[in-house]
Amino acid sequence: MIARLPGNTAPAVVFALFLLLGPTPSVASIETDLSLEPAPDGIDAGELARKAENNMRSERTYIAAKMTVESPRLSRARVVAFHSWENSPEKKSLIRIDAPAKDKGTGFLKLHPNLWMYVPRVERTVRVPPSMMLQSWMGSDFSNDDLVRESSEIEDYEHRLLGFDPGTNGNVDRPAYVVEYKPNEDAAVVWGSIVGWLDVETGAPLRQDFFDEDGERMRVMRFSDFKTIGKRHVPHLWSMTPLDKPGHSTSIEVTEIRYDADFDSDIFTTRNLKRRD
């Protein structure tokens, strides 16, 4: 026989259970995790998403960055320095690794939908096959697919406003609108949905949670260290935590970013990929 609990102890019991079990890594639905305030009327989720995307991207973008990979395997974080050129309308990009020494000169060339890789030490150019797309990129928590995936956060998704996050409950540190990105059926997207926190003031993304098709949260990406570049508010630190790999995280620290940069389209060739610069 189980003694009947007085009515008012029930919340306490639930709370105790919660403490015992800890936060569960999986959530049944996106909303249950969020205690959001309703957003003011007249806010359009699609418009918020467009603003955020335009804030982050341009037609021709140059980035120099340092990627730091942390893992329980490593006593010292792995740091990969690279710079990249992207021509977004042509869906082309080039990434050149500068460090560590072993990978210096390694190049990645995306000519949608293909990904090419050049390994200077063995002088081989390799097309990364589809079966390798979900493998780790340069030992990070990003996959090759993350590099190649060419989806527009505007065209490939339906947007729905979930609410307003005052930025005081630990999700993000600034007031933000929370928008759910649901991929269109024909979009080549591996995620079931993405929930984005978009800064109320600047429109820049503060955080993105990626869910798989079963609604399980797979990664959390946080944007911070904002700097103003022209009219843009650009995060210079992107930190990604894969929730299925405890103790792992990858962050990208942008050292230089140039929007509407001036470079030729002919740098996106396999011939140029082999140049070591």
Considering the complex, what minimum distance in angstroms separates the CB of residue 29 from another protein?
A: 24
**99 part of the interface to another protein, by CB under 8 A:** no
**25 part of the interface to another protein, by CB under 8 A:** no
Q: Which stretch binds another protein (CB under 8 A): 95-103, 157-165, 195-203, 259-267?
A: 95-103
Question: By C-beta, is 46 or 139 nearer to another protein?
Answer: 139
Considering the complex, what minimum distance in angstroms separates the CB of residue 78 from another protein?
A: 5
Q: Report residue 262 as tokens.
A: 């001036």
Question: By C-beta, is 25 or 129 nearer to another protein?
Answer: 129
Contacting residue, 4, 102, 231, 271, with another protein by CB under 8 A: 102
Q: Which stretch binds another protein (CB under 8 A): 1-9, 27-35, 88-96, 102-110?
A: 102-110
Site string for another protein, 116-155 (x = CB under 8 A): -x-x-xx-xxxxxxxxx--xx-xxx---------------
Contacting residue, 65, 69, 94, 162, with another protein by CB under 8 A: 69
Question: By C-beta, is 104 or 160 nearer to another protein?
Answer: 104
Lookup result for tokens 């050292």: 255
**74 part of the interface to another protein, by CB under 8 A:** yes
Q: Which stretch binds another protein (CB under 8 A): 25-33, 114-122, 185-193, 212-220?
A: 114-122
Question: By C-beta, is 14 or 74 nearer to another protein?
Answer: 74
How is 42-73 classified by DSSP, letter by letter? T--HHHHHHHHHHHH--SEEEEEEEEEEE-TT
Question: By C-beta, is 142 or 177 nearer to another protein?
Answer: 142
Question: By C-beta, is 118 or 157 nearer to another protein?
Answer: 118
Q: Report residue 14 as tokens.
A: 């639930």
**100 part of the interface to another protein, by CB under 8 A:** yes
How is 197-234 classified by DSSP, letter by letter? EEETTT--EEEEEEE-TTS-EEEEEEEEEEEEETTEEE
Question: By C-beta, is 9 or 135 nearer to another protein?
Answer: 135
Considering the complex, what minimum distance in angstroms separates the CB of residue 190 from another protein?
A: 17
How is the chain classified by DSSP, letter by letter? -PPPPPGGGHHHHHHHHHHHH---S--SSTGGG--PBPPPTT--HHHHHHHHHHHH--SEEEEEEEEEEE-TT-SS-EEEEEEEEEETTTTEEEEEEEESGGGTT-EEEEETTEEEEEEGGGTEEEE--GGGTTSBSTTSSSBHHHHH----TTTSEEEEEEEEE-S-SSS-SS-EEEEEEEE-TTS----SEEEEEEETTT--EEEEEEE-TTS-EEEEEEEEEEEEETTEEEEEEEEEEETTSTT-EEEEEEEEEETT----GGGSSHHHHTS--
Considering the complex, what minimum distance in angstroms separates the CB of residue 210 from another protein?
A: 18
In the complex, which residues of this chain contact another protein (CB under 8 A)? 69, 71, 73-74, 78, 100, 102-103, 106, 117, 119, 121-122, 124-132, 135-136, 138-140, 245
